[in-house]
Each structure stands twice: as C-alpha cells, then as structure tokens.
Structure 1
Amino acid sequence: MQDSRTGRQLTLRHGAHEAVVVELGAALRSYTAGGRAVIDGFAAQDPVTGGRGQILVPWPNRIRDGRYVWEGRELQLPLTEPAAGNAIHGLLRWVPWRVAEEGADRAVLDVELRPQPGYPFHLGVRAEYALGGHGLEVAVTARNLGPDPAPYGFGQHPYVMAGTASVDEAVLTLPARTRLVTDGRGLPVAAEPVAGTEYDLRAPRAVGALRLDTPFGDLERDADGRAVVRLAHPSGALGTDVWLGPGADWVQLYTGDTLPPGERRRAVAVEPMTCPPDAFRSGTGLVGLAPGAHHTVRWGITPWGR
C-alpha cells in the first residue's frame, strides 16, 4: 500500500499478531494481537504525531540548545524543538528508509545518514522488525561509514496500551531504581533514587493521576538480560510488556499529558534508550562509534492474556 504521508506500508503477520511498519522513518505504525490494539499508533492516511513509533537516531530525547562538543570540536544542531530551545529525537524521523527485505513476518529497512550541519558524520542504519509467537522484536544497527569517530545513541517511541480507555486505569510496573529530575525544557538536572517516591513503580501500581515525561535508569534485569516494563489491565487478564535488551540502559515513560486533547493519556509511551536526555553534552551512556564499527540494540513488545 502506498500512502503520500508515510510511504510504503509493510504489513507483518504471525498467527493472531499483525504489525505495520512504514517507509517514513521506518516507524512502527500499528500492532494488534487477536484484534486488540497493542500500541496507540496512527492511521495510514494520517501524519505521525507525538513521535508515535518513530526511531530516534543518532540521539534519543533532547540536546540542550542543540549544542555539544565532540573531540574538541563545537557543533550546533538545528533546534527542532524551538519553543524549548532543544534539538530533539535525532535526524532520521522524517526521511524515507529503503525497504531492504520484506517477508510475511519480517521486514528490514535501511538508510544512510550523511554528514550535515551539526552532525558531520556518516552512518548506515538498519532496522529489522520480526513478528513471532512471543510478539514483536526490533533490532536497530548503526555502522560508522565515515573516517572519524561519531557520537551515537538510539531510542524508539511506541505508545503502549493494555485494553483500558485511559492510562489512569492501567497498572504499571517499571523495574527502575533511579529517575532523572528534569527542568521545564525536559532536560535532566539531577538523579535521585525512586525509593520512597511516587516514581517507585517496581511493584505493580495503577497509574492513576501520575503524570510522566520522565527518564529512568539503573534498570533491574531478568536472567535473559532484559528489563521488562509492564502495562496491565486492572483485571490482570491481559497486558503488554516492553522488554529492553542489553545496551538499552534507559527508558523514558510519557503519559501523553501534553499531546492534543483527543490523544492525551490514551497510552503510555515506553521509550527504550541507550542513553538519557542530553547525552551528547553529558556523555552519559553515549556510544563513541569508531570508523567501521557497528552498534546493535534489541527491544520488543510482548502482548499477553485475552
């Protein structure tokens, strides 16, 4: 299917699972399981709003003033969040990716990120989506095609649902020991333990009136090395897990309170990230990608119950 806004629509199916990936930004447009909406996506004919399903490369989240220093060189990115004076969510959200492979339950898209003002580095980026009996797995690989080391970070922006009309009713579990306190520009100013605060979600808890646009770190992982964020229906009968593989050491949760009125608090954006906001300036979690080197991160969505 061809759509003038988001390009080709790649439909993946496996049993009762169906996901759609689009050419524009290699974004995850929709995911259903047994007819239930697993993510709050967007229609084929609609523009992408709120970063829904988008891949955030070569940095997730925000960079203060769009300005950073890399290997002694001062660099200035375009301010793509002008009201807050930030560069936000990377450089590949609004470019078409090439469909490299397309199968019944798997799709691979790739793109070259050419040197440009503020990011004079050359990357090749590949996104693989695979749908199976345990849900959707995503692998994103960046390779440095240029002659110089490049700063790099990854994130992605799915809005997760668990069969409730609003997130207030949903039950959230987040295995994070630390959160970053942010200022009015969404930039971190301090780190603090979640213990004893309303941000301690290590035990299941209804979202209620909690407003989140919050980075979390120090994630607890299972025996497979995965950190699992769970959004469940209050009945406990169904829910959606987002797992973060090794290297995805940070996660941003966003309850959508600043979205347009009809879109607010319908879902929780669970954003796997390799680094926190402003990592190009702080260096926290930032990957220095050497010439010829590559970096891969894996994450996925597992719907469960009926």
Structure 2
Amino acid sequence: MREPSGHTLVLRHGSYAAEVVGVGAALRSLTHDDRHLVAGWPAGEICRDYRGWVLQPWPNRVGDGRYDFDGATHQLPLTEPENSNALHGLAGWNHWEVHHPDAARAVLRHELVPRDGYPFALDLTVDYHLRDDGLHVAVAATNVGDGPAPYGAGHHPYLTLGRPADELELTVPAATWCPMDERGLPGPSRPVDGTPYDFRTPRVIGDLVVDHPFGDLTGGPAVLRDPASGQATAVHLGEGCRWLHVFTCDTQEPARQAVAIEPMSCPPDAFRTGTDLVVLEPGGSHRLAFSIAAVTGS
C-alpha cells in the first residue's frame, strides 16, 4: 500500500528525534527523551488538520481566494469553501524531492509551477536540522519566473504537553493582536495591553478561545508550559518571522488537546491587505527560520 504521506525520513540527534514526510514536506513528529513535543498524525493515515504543514506561498487564509497584484486580478481555488477562503497555500498535498545528507538533517525541495490563481514560478525549500538545542527549520523560496511574485510563508506545528490547553501556561512575545471575523479573517492590529490576548508574561490559558495572529514581536521565544510538571516547549523565532498565529484547537476533535504556535512572515489575508506581503522579484529569495526545543524545569 502506498503511504498517504509519502516517504518518511527519521531524524535523530542526541535526545531528539523527528519524522518528516515527503508529501508537503510536513513535520509528523518531534520528541525529546521520548516526550512528544508536537501533536502529529499516525503513519498510514492522511495528515489531519494541516498538522506540521509548510505554508507556501501564503500562510493561513486569502479571503474569497481573490486578490489583485501587479495590475491583474487573480482567483485561487476555494479550499475552505464553507468560509469562501483559499487556505494554507499550494504546497501541502504535493510530493517534494527529498535529500537526506545525514542522520540529523533533511532538505526537501519542490518546484511550484504557475497555475490559475497563482501564475508565478517558485523554487521552494524546507530544511529540517536536529541540533543539540532542538529542531531548526528554514522555509525558503526563490522566484524563478520573469516577473514579481506575491509571497508569504509559515509553518503549522501543533505543540502538545499531554494535557488540555486550559491547564497550560502560554507566553507570546507580541505587542499587538488582530481580532478575527467569523470567516477567520483578521481586522486591523490592536495593542494587546489590557486585553485577554496579552501573553507577554506567562499566564494560564484557561477557557480563552485563541485563533488569532500576533504581531510586533518583541523578541524571545513563544513558550507553552505545564505548570504542574515544569515541562515546556519553546518556539524560537528567527529570520523572516514577523507574526505568530496561535490556535487552541477548539474546532478539532478532541478539542483543546494541543496549541498550534505558527511562525509566519505575514498575517492571514496578506494577499488582499498587503500587510507584510513579500514581493519576490525575479531571482529574489525569502527565508523564514525558527526552532522548536524542549524546556525542562521544576
């Protein structure tokens, strides 16, 4: 039987292990001393809920799938038809070329060809590298076409500590957040000061529903921590990370058993709003880098 997620690469380094799959270049699992840091999906099954997905050439949603760029209007397929949105880019269900230079690293590449709705040619690369301090991820794109291309990038890890989100402590190093409408599209940024979405200092999530982008990142990692055990998982932000999207998984089954902390170069709907949209000129490249690491405490 053909594996739905394609070839699985197992990476190991020290106390860390990870699984990366050839379909979508997705991250299926990440463990530290056999403790699961991300909530993935079982081998032999289709990836659920975009877990571990690479989000290119846009993260999150494009409202109505319709946007204007360089004097032309483009219509993307509506992959979230119930909300009339184009969701999570074009790379997730494609086979990627796999390169496995050593036991701790995998590099996956995909040629994104022009198509209706996105008539631009990009070479995409995702580099997963286990090191002493965790899993380092770099999501990159190069414009190999003859004109400018709109672009955004993200990654969709679901962090888990084996307990409901309500009981966990969250830190998000962001000074602003965006309210969201019923279609999952953002309004203008607002300061987090005085709102339930101010997680600049660690606090328990409780029953707060979070499915929002956070901007004006202030440095330091985003951290999900279990106050009972002291165990935590940190997402360290690097080059190109201008936004985080945090999701408490309320619409999934079972609900609120993981928290997605998604590094992004731009917020949802950037193809329409232009907020932090990257314009790749011919030959131009963009890189989004972050890492995920276990934190052990008391």
TM-score, normalised relative to structure 2? 0.97
**Which residue of structure 2 aligns with residue 86 of structure 1?**
85
Indicate the larger mover: 267-276 or 40-49: 40-49
Q: Alignment RMSD, CA only?
A: 1.2
- Any residues of structure 2 matched to 1:217-256 within 5 Å, and which? 217-221=215-219, 227-235=220-228, 237-256=230-249
Is the Cα contact below 8 Å between 1:10 and 1:102 reproduced in 2?
Answer: no
Separation (CA, whole Å) in 1 of partners of 2:173 and 2:2:
39
* SS at 1:115 equivalent: coil
**Which residue of structure 2 aligns with residue 298 of structure 1?**
289
Q: Which runs of 5+ in 1 are unaligned?
A: 222-226
> Aligned-pair distance for 1:45?
1.2
Separation (CA, whole Å) in 2 of partners of 1:189 and 1:39:
29
**Which residue of structure 1 aligns with residue 35 of structure 2?**
36
Corresponding letter in the other structure for 1:281: R
* SS at 2:8 equivalent: strand
Indicate the larger mover: 228-237 or 105-114: 228-237
> Aligned-pair distance for 1:15?
1.2
**Which residue of structure 1 aligns with residue 13 of structure 2?**
14
Separation (CA, whole Å) in 1 of partners of 2:101 and 2:21:
12
Separation (CA, whole Å) in 2 of partners of 1:214 and 1:188:
8
* SS at 1:100 equivalent: strand
Aligned mate of 2:170, from 152, 169, 172: 172
* SS at 1:281 equivalent: helix
**Which residue of structure 2 aligns with residue 224 of structure 1?**
none
- Any residues of structure 2 matched to 1:1-306 within 5 Å, and which? 4-162=3-161, 164-221=162-219, 227-235=220-228, 237-260=230-253, 262=254, 264-305=255-296
> Aligned-pair distance for 1:3?
5.1
Separation (CA, whole Å) in 2 of partners of 1:269 and 1:178:
18
Indicate the percent of aligned positions where both proteins have the same amino acid: 48
Paired residues, what number?
A: 297
What CA deviation, in whole Å up to 9, does each residue of 1:269-300 have, x standing for no partner? 00000000110011111110000111111111
Separation (CA, whole Å) in 1 of partners of 2:14 and 2:189:
43
What CA deviation, in whole Å up to 9, does each residue of 1:68-115 have, x standing for no partner? 000110100000000000001000000010003342000000000000
TM-score, normalised relative to structure 1? 0.95
Is the Cα contact below 8 Å between 2:159 and 2:233 reproduced in 1?
Answer: yes
